[in-house]
Structure 1
Amino acid sequence: MKNLYINTRFFFALIGVGILYVFGFFFSPFVIVGHCILLVLFLATMVDYLLLFLQKEAILAQRILPEKLSNGDENPVKIDIRNNFGFPIHCKIIDEIPFQFQKRDFLIERKIEAGKNTLFQYVLEPKERGEYHFGALNVFTSSPLGLVSKRFSFQKDAHLAAYPSFIHLRKYELMALQNEFLLGGMKKIRKLGHTMEFEQIKEYVPGDDIRTINWKATSKSNRLMVNQYQDEKAQKVFILIDKGRTMKMPFNGLSLLDYSINATMALSHIILKKGDRAGMMAFSKKSENKLAADNKSGQLRKISESLYNIKTDFSESDFNRLYQEVKYSINQRSLVLLFTNFETLDGLNRQLKYLRGIAKNHLLVVVFFKNAELQSLIHKNPENMQEIYDEVIAEKFEFEKKLIIQELKKYGIYSVYTLPENLNVDVINKYLEIKARGIL
Structure 2
Amino acid sequence: MKLFFRYTYLTFRFFVFAIVFVALFVFSYIYPGLLNIVTSLFFVAIGLVIVDVILLFKQIGITASRVLPEKLSNGDDNPIELTLQNHYNFKTDVLLIDELPFQYQKRDFQINTQLNKHQEKRITYTLRPLERGEYYFGYLNVYINSPIGLVTRRYQFAKDAMVPNYPSFLQLRKYMLIAFSNKLFEYGLKKIRRIGHTMEFEQIKDYVTGDDIRNINWKATAKRNHLMVNQFQDERSQPIYSVIDKGRAMKMPFEGLSLLDYAINATLVISNVALKKQDKAGMFTFSRKVENKVAAERRPSQMHKILETLYNVNTDFAESDFSRLYIDVKRSITQRSLLLLYTNFETLDALHRQLPYLQAMAKNHLLVVIFFENTELEKLTNVEAHNTFEIFQKTIAEKFMYEKKLIVNELQKHGIQSILTAPENLTINTINKYLEIKARGLI
Provide the secondary structure at the position in 1 that maps to 2:436. helix
Quote the Cα distance in structure 1 between the aligned partners of 2:209 and 2:8.
Answer: 78
- 8 Å CA contact retained: 2:189, 2:432: no
Provide the secondary structure at the position in 1 that maps to 2:331. helix
Quote the Cα distance in structure 2 between the aligned partners of 1:32 and 1:211.
Answer: 110
1:386 CA displacement:
2.6
Aligned to 2:35: 31
Quote the Cα distance in structure 2 between the aligned partners of 1:32 and 1:207.
Answer: 103
2:51 matches 1:44: no
- 8 Å CA contact retained: 2:185, 2:191: no
From 346, 350, 353, the equivalent of 1:350 is: 353
| Residue deviations 1:215-256 (CA, integer Å, cap 9, x gap) | 443444454433322211111001111111111111111111
2:337 matches 1:334: yes
Aligned to 1:410: 413
1:292 CA displacement:
0.3
Report how many residues are paired: 439
- 8 Å CA contact retained: 1:242, 1:284: yes
Provide the secondary structure at the position in 2 that maps to 1:426. helix
- 8 Å CA contact retained: 2:96, 2:142: yes
In structure 2, the CA distance between the partners of 1:224 and 1:72, relative to structure 1 (3 Å rule), is same
Quote the Cα distance in structure 2 between the aligned partners of 1:314 and 1:73.
Answer: 24
Q: Which runs of 5+ in 1 are unaligned?
A: none
- 8 Å CA contact retained: 1:193, 1:436: no
1:210 CA displacement:
4.2
| Residue deviations 1:189-212 (CA, integer Å, cap 9, x gap) | 333332111212233445444443
From 86, 99, 102, the equivalent of 2:102 is: 99
From 71, 77, 82, the equivalent of 2:80 is: 77
Aligned to 2:59: 55
Aligned to 1:325: 328
Aligned to 2:154: 151
1:183 CA displacement:
6.1
From 114, 118, 122, the equivalent of 1:115 is: 118
In structure 2, the CA distance between the partners of 1:22 and 1:367, relative to structure 1 (3 Å rule), is same
Partner amino acid, structure 2, of 1:13: F
Quote the Cα distance in structure 2 between the aligned partners of 1:103 and 1:206.
Answer: 64
Q: Which residues in structure 2 correspond to 1:168-247 (within 5 Å)?
A: 168-178=171-181, 180-181=183-184, 184-185=187-188, 187-247=190-250
Quote the Cα distance in structure 2 between the aligned partners of 1:205 and 1:111.
Answer: 67
Quote the Cα distance in structure 2 between the aligned partners of 1:33 and 1:127.
Answer: 61
Moved more, 189-198 or 221-230: 221-230
Partner amino acid, structure 2, of 1:16: V
Quote the Cα distance in structure 1 between the aligned partners of 2:283 and 2:30.
Answer: 85
CA RMSD of aligned residues (A): 1.7
TM-score, normalised relative to structure 2:
0.95
2:420 matches 1:420: no
- 8 Å CA contact retained: 1:257, 1:312: no
TM-score, normalised relative to structure 1:
0.95
Moved more, 182-191 or 234-243: 182-191
Partner amino acid, structure 2, of 1:407: E
2:279 matches 1:276: yes
From 286, 290, 296, the equivalent of 1:293 is: 296
The percentage of counterpart residues that share the same residue type is: 55
Provide the secondary structure at the position in 2 that maps to 1:118. strand
1:150 CA displacement:
1.1
- 8 Å CA contact retained: 1:64, 1:79: yes
Moved more, 32-41 or 260-269: 32-41
Quote the Cα distance in structure 1 between the aligned partners of 2:176 and 2:209.
Answer: 28
Provide the secondary structure at the position in 2 that maps to 1:110. strand
Provide the secondary structure at the position in 1 that maps to 2:403. helix
In structure 2, the CA distance between the partners of 1:20 and 1:208, relative to structure 1 (3 Å rule), is farther
Aligned to 1:302: 305
Q: Which runs of 5+ in 2 are unaligned?
A: none
1:89 CA displacement:
1.3
Runs of 4+ in 1 over 6 A off after TM superposition: none
